[in-house]
Amino acid sequence: MHIQSLGLQHFRNIEAASLSLNPQLNVILGNNGSGKTSVLEAIYYLGFGRSFRSNRPSKVITYQKDSFVVFAQLEQHKIGLQKFKSGDTALRINKENVRSQAVLASLLPLQILHPEGYALVDGSPKYRRAYLDWGVFHVEHQFHGAWQNYKRLLKQRNALLKQTKSYQDLSYWDKQLVELAELVSQLRAKYVDSISQSLSQLVSEFLPEYSFELSFFKGWDDKNSLSELLSTSFSRDRLMGFTQYGPHKADLKFKFNGVNAVDLISRGQLKLFVCALILAQGQHAEQVSGNKTIYLIDDFAAELDSAKRRLLAECLQRNGSQVFVSAIEEQMLDGFDLEGCTMFHVEHGVINDYKTRVKHG
Ligand SMILES: Nc1ncnc2c1ncn2[C@@H]1O[C@H](COP(=O)(O)OP(=O)(O)OP(=O)(O)O)[C@@H](O)[C@H]1O
């Protein structure tokens, strides 16, 4: 899978742009504030329906404009997204309107590495669940429906908790909730199993000084069944106003030399670890679906020494995926093989395709 061309309109400081893309390496160069991250953010919008740096689409629409548009030509589909100040969204595939972002997401498997992305390791469990669910979504087709239904039932349960004094009123709903919870957790656990080996391999390549351990917490302890827990914790759930056990509490635990990752590794090592996480997912999704993941790497050089930059660049280019990488200057991309790549230069929101490196040999 790769993006052949990308169009933007009224996206942050980019008034309009039309980019013809390289199927492999795309380099985006420019000074601070020029608009490099905005290009990555626009691509991310197509795959996720949201930004990775703002919850409010109105912040992303160019000042004084009413909407932004991002569209892309993929190998077999043309996809587009328009976000309005009002909060409305229009999604299109091959000129047809579609309602669910999941359809776009399934066509465009994307992974991103950006400075705020370290929350995947040092942030709250919701970031690790989002990571996990991206992976399960792209390889297990029943997951999306089961998870959406679970979340819908959970919302109803939490609302009912505020209205009822008797667990009897909930037990009927809990039967369905537990069935979905078990399915979601099985799919997640199977997924964690299936990536753990390639993740460990990548971690040993990037951070050979540590022994690494990955574990999955499904959202409740195995000592009790979820239905028992839901009934015994009813009073507490009622008091707190929400359900305390279930897959909405799932988490991943990362340990290095037996210590929690956040308590041990440095910022640069954290970046490498996050990169190992996204590469392991991308590679697994590719093995299962045959679709290559697209990698977006913002501010590639930040926090990495030159040996680590080379290691990471080599790994990103190894399997021929499409990669978008931003940097302030070309010298910071010392680890990449730039032959045949396309370079864009961004200045005050204007993007020029200023160099396509000739491939020799
Ligand atoms: N809604 C908006 N409308 C117009 N301009 C905006 C809007 N939101 C942000 N900007 C401007 O767009 C520019 C985009 O910055 P962006 O983060 O893409 O730059 P960058 O090249 O990645 O910079 P850095 O190297 O510092 O990370 C900034 O100068 C910012 O002030």
- Counting from 1 in the atom list of ligand 1, the atom nearest the Cα of 59 is 1
Q: Are the C-beta atoms of residues 307 and 314 closer than 8 Å to each other?
A: no
pLDDT at site 289: 86
Q: What is the pLDDT of residue 116?
A: 80
For residue 360, pLDDT over 80 is answered with: no
Q: What is the pLDDT of residue 319?
A: 83
Angle subtended by helix axes 267-289 and 168-206, to nearest 10: 110
**Residue 188 belongs to some domain of the structure:** yes
Closest atom of ligand 1 to 326 CA is 22
Domain-located, residue 47: no
Ligand 1 closest atom vs CA 34? 21
Substitution candidate for ligand 1 out of 32, 38, 41 with most atoms within 8 A of CB? 38
Q: Which of 298, 295, 348 is nearest to 317 (CA)?
A: 295
* pLDDT of 357 above 70: no
For a substitution probing ligand 1, which of 9, 13, 52, 298 has the most ligand atoms within 8 Å of its CB? 13
Task: Show the domain range for 168.
Answer: 140-290
Spell out where 62-197 has E strands.
Answer: 67-74, 78-84, 89-93, 96-98, 110-113
Residue 155 within any structural domain of the chain: yes
Average pLDDT over residues 132-145: 93
Kindly state if the Cβ of 12 falls inside 6 Å of ligand 1.
Answer: yes
pLDDT, tens digit (0-9, with 9 covering 90-100), for 287-334: 888 889 999 999 999 999 999 999 999 999 988 899 999 999 999 998
Does residue 222 register a pLDDT over 90?
no
Q: In this structure, what token pair is assigned to residue 94? A: 């091959």
- Burial status of residue 310 (CB atoms within 10 A of its CB: 0-12, 13-18, 19 or more): middle
Q: Distance between CA atoms of 165 and 167, rounded to whole angstroms?
A: 7
Ligand 1 site, residue 345, Cβ cutoff 6 A:
no
For 205-287, list the strands marked E by DSSP. 212-217, 251-256, 259-260
DSSP 294-343: EEEESSTTTT--HHHHHHHHHHHHHT---EEEEESSGGGGTTS--TT-EE
- Ligand 1 test: best mutation among 12, 296, 300, 324, most atoms within 8 Å of CB? 12
Condensed to tens digits (0 to 9), the pLDDT of residues 13-49 reads 999 999 999 999 999 999 999 999 999 999 999 999 9
Task: Decide whether any atom of ligand 1 lies within 6 Å of the 51 Cβ.
Answer: no
187 found inside a domain: yes
Q: Based on C-alpha coordinates, what's the Rg of the chain?
A: 22
Q: Is the CB of 30 under 6 A from ligand 1?
A: yes
Share of residues in the chain with pLDDT > 90 (%): 83
Distance of CA 245 to the CA centre of its chain: 25
Looking at residue 77, the DSSP 8-state letter turns out to be -
Residue 97 marked in a binding site = no
Instruction: Examine residue 23 and state whether it is found in any structural domain, yes or no.
Output: no
Sign of CA dihedral 265, 267, 271, 272: negative
Give nearest CA residue, ligand 1 atom 3.
62
276 CA distance to ligand 1 centroid (A)? 28
Give a yes or no: residue 303 inside a domain: no
Residue 271: its H or E element = helix 267-289
Q: Is the pLDDT of residue 170 over 70?
A: yes
Binding site membership of 58 for ligand 1 (Cβ less than 6 Å): no
How many angstroms is it from 263 CA to the middle of ligand 1?
A: 33
Is 58 annotated for ligand binding? no
Tokens representing 109 are 């498997």
Q: What is residue 361's predicted lDDT score, i.e. its pLDDT?
A: 47
Q: Do the annotations mark residue 185 as ligand-binding?
A: no
* CA 212–ligand 1 middle distance (angstroms): 37
Q: Is 87 part of any known ligand binding site? A: no
Q: Any binding-site annotation on 31?
A: yes
Closest to 113 (Cα-Cα) out of 351, 240, 315, 276 = 276
If DSSP codes are grouped into helix, strand and coil, which group holds residue 131? helix
Q: Name the residue of 29, 31, 37, 84 whose CB sits within 8 Å of the most ligand 1 atoms, as the mutation to test its pocket.
A: 37
How large is the average pLDDT for residues 134-146? 93
Mean per-residue pLDDT, 349-360 = 75
- Tokens 């990571």 — which residue? 131
Residue 160 is assigned to a structural domain of this protein? yes
Q: How far is CA 296 from CA 25, 36, 95, 214, 299, in A?
A: 10, 11, 26, 24, 10
In what order do the strands lie in the sheet containing 251-256? Answer: 212-217, 251-256, 259-260
Atom of ligand 1 nearest to the CA of 39: 18
Could you tell me which of 336, 325, 259, 339 has the C-alpha nearest to residue 30? Answer: 325
Locate tokens 């991103």: which residue? 112
* pLDDT band (50, 70, 90) for residue 358: low
Helices 267-289 and 125-139: crossing angle, nearest 10°? Answer: 20
pLDDT score recorded for residue 169: 87
- Residues of the chain with pLDDT > 70, as a percent, come to 98
Please check whether residue 203 lies inside any domain of the structure. Answer: yes
| 137: pLDDT strictly greater than 70 | yes
Specify whether the CB–CB gap between 126 and 252 falls below 8 A: no
- Number of structural domains found in the chain: 1
* ipTM exceeding cut-off 0.90 for this assembly: yes
Among residues 273, 265, 361, 360, the alpha carbon closest in space to that of 311 is found at 273
Residue nearest to atom 26 of ligand 1 (CA): 32
Q: Whose CA is nearest to atom 22 of ligand 1?
A: 37
pLDDT at 356 > cutoff 80: no
Mean pLDDT (the chain, rounded): 93
CA distance 232 to 318: 52
Is residue 47 annotated as involved in ligand binding? Answer: no
Nearest CA to ligand 1 atom 8: 12
CATH label of the domain that carries residue 177: 1.20.1050.90
